[in-house]
A = this chain, B = another copy of it.
């Protein structure tokens, strides 16, 4: 499995991938020295830099076209994560549908009959829960700060494999709306969501949603199954006709799936020095392709590598 979401240079075509430029030596413009790429850093990583997904906090969203794998973040939304797992275990989601795909924003699923008398009833899980928009910084022992400036949060970084914002004055930290992050749809009231409808970010990070909504995890595999869905024709990208909606085959907790049928993925530990090297490889890229380097990394461009476990 290739590393996902690795930003690359824009090459002219196929062969340039394999060729090395010649004749740059006589250029007046100073070229950037070559340096290790993210791929190089990952190649040099040690097995201990990686951790397997925890099957009890991994969700499989099974669609007719394939499986989307979501890592849940119980440290940031304990009650919602518990409830989403309960919903999955009572088969609440099975047979529901993707209802919305808005270009450069989100894909969202839920009950197509939410507003009519065929609405699906929640059994033992909760319909709604108190908001978990932020958690106390004291709850987060895994924060590793990025030195890069951010307009949305006084501090940014990663915690246990997730991108986070942090406000030391307010004593709060929260998961940020980067590509692939999963959140809990709600109505106008903060406490009106509970996980019966979830969404995934598929566009330029809508960070204005940070601290306005409960974020519960991140897609670690299968993003293209969501990001390429046809955009819905109704306002906000809703599929206004049932035949446009994409049925959900099932949502399962990985721990409930027989071992042989599970995906075996591992995530680079964001607490590891290797991850710091991954960030640095993105802040400053080397030549010959790159000509100038920003010495900066946007939180939502900071990839969090995932790969298949070598079993």
A interface with B by C-beta (< 8 Å): 2, 4-5, 7-17, 20-21, 23-24, 29, 99, 102-106, 108, 110-111, 114-115, 133, 148-152, 178-180, 183, 185-190, 192-193, 197, 199, 203-213, 223-224, 227-231, 235-236, 238, 282, 285, 288-294, 296-298, 300-301
Contacts and interface: CB of A to CB of B under 8 A. Distances in A.
Contacts of A24: 188-189
A231 B224 contact: yes
A167 to B, nearest CB: 10
Contacts of A104: 5, 179-180, 223, 227
Given A5-B103, A104-B179, 11 more contacts: A5-B104, A7-B105, A10-B186, A10-B209, A11-B236, A12-B186, A103-B223, A104-B180, A206-B301, A208-B290, A211-B292
B103 A224 contact: yes
B227 A187 contact: no
Given A14-B115, A291-B133, A207 B298 contact: yes
A211 B106 contact: no
Nearest to A2: B235
A7 B151 contact: no
B296 A187 contact: no
Nearest to A303: B104
A17 B235 contact: yes
A236 B197 contact: no
Q: How many copies does the complex hold?
A: 2
A244 to B, nearest CB: 13
A96 B212 CA distance: 45
A187 B151 contact: no
A207 B230 CA distance: 26
Contact of A294 (B11, B151, B282): B151
Nearest to A16: B187
B12 A185 contact: yes
A208 to B, nearest CB: 6
Contacts of A108: 10
B208 A294 contact: yes
A10 B133 CA distance: 14
Contacts of A211: 291-292
Contacts of A289: 188, 212
Contacts of A106: 10
B300 A188 contact: no
